[in-house]
Amino acid sequence: MIIDLPSTTTQAISKKLVRLRQDVGSMALSRVLTLVVIADEADIDDAVEIANDASHQHPCRIVAVASGNTRGKARLDAQIRLGGDAGASEVVVLRLYGPLVAHARSVVIPLLLPDSPVVAWWPKDPPKSPAHDPVGAMAQRRITDVAQLESIGPVLKTLARSYSPGDTDLAWSRVTLWRGLLASALDRAPFEPVTSATVTGAADSPSTDLLAGWLQHRLRCPVSVVRSRDRSGIISVRLERRSGIIDLVRPQDGETATMDQTGQPQRAIALAHRSDAECLADELRRLDADEVYEDALTKGLPQVTMRRLTMTEAVAKGEVPSPSSSRKTQERLEKQARATRSSAMVQAEPEKKSAEPAAVKQAARRKLADKSEGS
């Protein structure tokens, strides 16, 4: 259900929501928070779709604010989405024009769910200080996405300088699976300290920088970043210890990574790319400060060394693992797994047919013959 309210007011929107609640039912009672989405007109529909997907795990009221042309008269156009058009939430899309663009906070406040947390999300173009933004100041959680910007390095430094408890970024959520696999690898013998680490990733991947910052702060060792010019996202992590190396590599556009550890057999591990909706749902799961993200951004990342050589040069020098070799390893492991399954099927002995049904039939015939003779 989509209801358009052109040239309206926040009071009219609130009254319409109350009437819909009376007609449709108490749809607001199960909402656990208010998610305020701040985006441009061109990005608002995509952002609402992502928020709808995330709302299946966290039912909420989504208030999407789209800033239009700042010229002309102040005008507020609204749209209410319910049911199948709103996922597990109720959506209010606000389009601001004229002088009203500078007063998004005043427009949003009357539409917040009472006595519930507020989360602010900027899908693109985050403010320099989310906590001091008019909308961000009233939110317990403030979510940005540096991956949508061109100059990730300066933006990360700006976010680090203005960090306030409750700030987070979707680029941080995208490294969750990488962090888990690396922590699991270090939780096995030999329990030796890591002497150095190298993270390889695309030039436009802030997740690469944040993962390197996390490793630096947690391992207290030199960590460097190597860039790739023609790939995307995080590509590999190499951890060096006295006994050998640990290589975790995910080839381009792959959903499987290889783990190569000295003294251990090579393994293929599921490492899927996470969608924006999954990452947003993760960030909505907690409303307290993320101290681990804070340490990675403000303490670890400034200590990371940004290497000038490219990934191709680093691979040629043997300083980072080769993605093409990882792809070949995956194919070899998959081939071995298929051969093992085929061999197991051939060697499996067919089950012997039970002789019980025949024996039961013979016994039944004997009893019937005895009865016929007795009669």
What local confidence, expressed as pLDDT, does residue 29 receive?
52
* pLDDT digits (tens), the chain, 375 positions: 889 999 999 999 999 988 887 776 545 556 789 999 999 988 999 999 999 999 888 888 999 999 888 888 999 999 998 876 666 678 999 999 999 999 999 999 999 998 899 999 999 989 999 999 999 999 999 999 999 998 899 999 999 999 999 999 999 999 999 999 999 999 988 889 999 999 999 988 999 999 999 999 999 999 999 999 877 889 999 999 999 999 999 987 778 999 999 888 889 999 999 999 999 999 999 889 999 999 999 999 999 999 999 999 999 999 999 988 888 888 888 888 888 877 766 665 555 555 566 776 677 777 767 766 665
What local confidence, expressed as pLDDT, does residue 235 receive?
94
The pTM of this model reads: 0.86
What local confidence, expressed as pLDDT, does residue 85 receive?
61
Query: SS3 letters for the chain?
Result: CEEEECCCCHHHHHHHHHHHHHHHCCCCCCCCEEEEEEEECCCHHHHHHHHHHHCCCCCEEEEEEEECCCCCCCEEEEEEECHHHCCCCEEEEEEEEHHHHHHHHHHHHHHCCCCCCEEEECCCCCCCCHHHCCCHHHCCEEEECHHHCCCHHHHHHHHHHCCCCCEEEHHHHCCHHHHHHHHHHHCCCCCCCCCEEEEEEECCCHHHHHHHHHHHHHHCCCEEEEEECCCCCEEEEEEEECCEEEEEECCCCCCEEEEEECCCCCEEEECCCCCHHHHHHHHHHCCCCCHHHHHHHHHHHHHCEEEEEEHHHHHHCCCCCCHHHHHHHHHHHHHHHHHHHHHHHHHCCCCCCCCHHHHHHHHHHHHHHHHHHHC
- How many Å apart are CA 155 and CA 129, to the nearest integer? 11
- How many Å apart are CA 111 and CA 10, to the nearest integer? 7
12 in Cβ contact with 5 (< 8 Å) = yes
What local confidence, expressed as pLDDT, does residue 221 receive?
96
What local confidence, expressed as pLDDT, does residue 144 receive?
96
